[in-house]
A = this chain, B = another copy of it.
Amino acid sequence: MTSVAEPASSLDSEFDRATEVAHESDGAYRADLPVDWRIGGGINGGLVLAVAARALGAELGGSPFTVTAHYLSASRAGAANVRTEVLKRGRSLSTGTASLVQTDERTGRERERIRVLGTYGDHAGLDGEVLTTAVPPELPAVADCLSSTDGPRLPHMELMERTEIRYDPACMGWLRGKPSGRGVIQGWLRLADGREPDPLSLLFAVDALPPVTMDMGLPGWCPTLELTVHVRAVPAPGWLRIRHATKNFAGGLLEEDAEVWDSAGRLVAQSRQLAKAPTPA
């Protein structure tokens, strides 16, 4: 058994098994989306992105610098195919696309789940200069935060067992019917089996928290239309600090920005998604 005190190697971690892709031919890969990463009606969108991005990385080499996914239909647990296309192989940067498809059980027809466009490079080879004005979120200590298991336990939320999240209590008033109204959710995150973060797992980390609309007093789900992630550095081992916020809820849509900071205090990823606002009950 793997405990948090004994970090999982990337060979036996839940995340690495879930994102495993088997090469078939000509840029085509087979994958299997495990039910363990289900949240509500589908498989978590960040995990599905990580699967497609892993296949694309196998073709391009390197790790993701900037990746965009458009979500076309809800992913289900089970077999999936990823087809990649290389657009450019450069000295330092390479670009390609990935399409993740599944066979619809009902119709027997293939349905595209996500289309990805990404540019990859060598994070280890980046210039060391940092001129950042971004400041990490101020969070209470891990021990003073709310655990992800303090919230309501709903069916089909297997995803919640895959991560440990410690929420800033100031953002979680909505659990008691008292949302702050700010549209911010922040906290600490790590994978439950102790697998340390890396550029691929950051693609999952940016979309692992509940939607910020919960903090605006708007219950319900926010389906992602599009998610773009910039991975800016290889994260140091340990807890990640994640801040999600929205500034512009309008026209039934909202953007949701995430910043991910590592244990060394470095901004390692920035993401933005365009999501549908929850439909009023």
Our pick among B68, B130, B131 for the contact of A117 (Cβ within 8 Å) is B68
Q: Is residue A226 contacting chain B, with contact meaning CB distance below 8 A?
A: yes
Inter-subunit contact B70/A87 (CB<8 Å) = yes
Q: What chain B residues lie within 8 Å of A226 (beta carbons)?
A: 66, 68, 119, 228
Q: Is residue A183 contacting chain B, with contact meaning CB distance below 8 A?
A: yes
**Which residues, 37 to 94 on A, are CB-close (under 8 Å) to B?**
65-66, 68, 70, 72-73, 87-88, 93
Our pick among B115, B131, B248 for the contact of A87 (Cβ within 8 Å) is B115
Oligomer copy total: 2
**Which residues, 116 to 164 on A, are CB-close (under 8 Å) to B?**
117-119, 123, 126-134
Beyond A117-B115, A117-B117, A225-B119, whether A249 also contacts B131 by CB under 8 A is yes
Q: Is residue A20 contacting chain B, with contact meaning CB distance below 8 A?
A: no
Q: Is residue A177 contacting chain B, with contact meaning CB distance below 8 A?
A: no
Inter-subunit contact A131/B216 (CB<8 Å) = yes
Min Cβ gap A262→B in Å is 12
Beyond A131-B250, A228-B272, whether A70 also contacts B119 by CB under 8 A is yes
Alpha-carbon distance between A270 and B70 when the two chains are bound, in angstroms: 17
Inter-subunit contact B233/A251 (CB<8 Å) = yes
**Which residues, 226 to 245 on A, are CB-close (under 8 Å) to B?**
226, 228, 230, 232-233
Q: What chain B residues lie within 8 Å of A118 (beta carbons)?
A: 70
Q: What chain B residues lie within 8 Å of A225 (beta carbons)?
A: 65-66, 93, 119
Min Cβ gap A231→B in Å is 10
Our pick among B72, B93, B274 for the contact of A88 (Cβ within 8 Å) is B72
Q: What chain B residues lie within 8 Å of A247 (beta carbons)?
A: 132-134, 267
Q: Is residue A108 contacting chain B, with contact meaning CB distance below 8 A?
A: no
Q: Is residue A193 contacting chain B, with contact meaning CB distance below 8 A?
A: no
Beyond A115-B87, A115-B97, A216-B131, whether A232 also contacts B253 by CB under 8 A is yes
Taken residue by residue from 242 to 267, chain A's Cβ proximity to chain B (1 for < 8 Å, 0 otherwise) reads as 00001111111101000000000001
Alpha-carbon distance between A230 and B246 when the two chains are bound, in angstroms: 13
Beyond A88-B112, A93-B225, A130-B250, whether A255 also contacts B270 by CB under 8 A is yes
Can you sample 8 A-B contacts with CB below 8 Å?
Answer: A97-B117, A119-B274, A128-B251, A130-B250, A132-B247, A228-B272, A230-B255, A270-B272
Which A residues contact B (CB, under 8 angstroms)?
A: 65-66, 68, 70, 72-73, 87-88, 93, 95, 97, 112, 115, 117-119, 123, 126-134, 182-183, 216, 225-226, 228, 230, 232-233, 246-253, 255, 267, 270, 272, 274, 277
In the complex, the 5 A-B pairs of residues with the closest C-beta atoms, listed nearest first? A126-B251, A127-B252, A134-B247, A131-B249, A68-B68
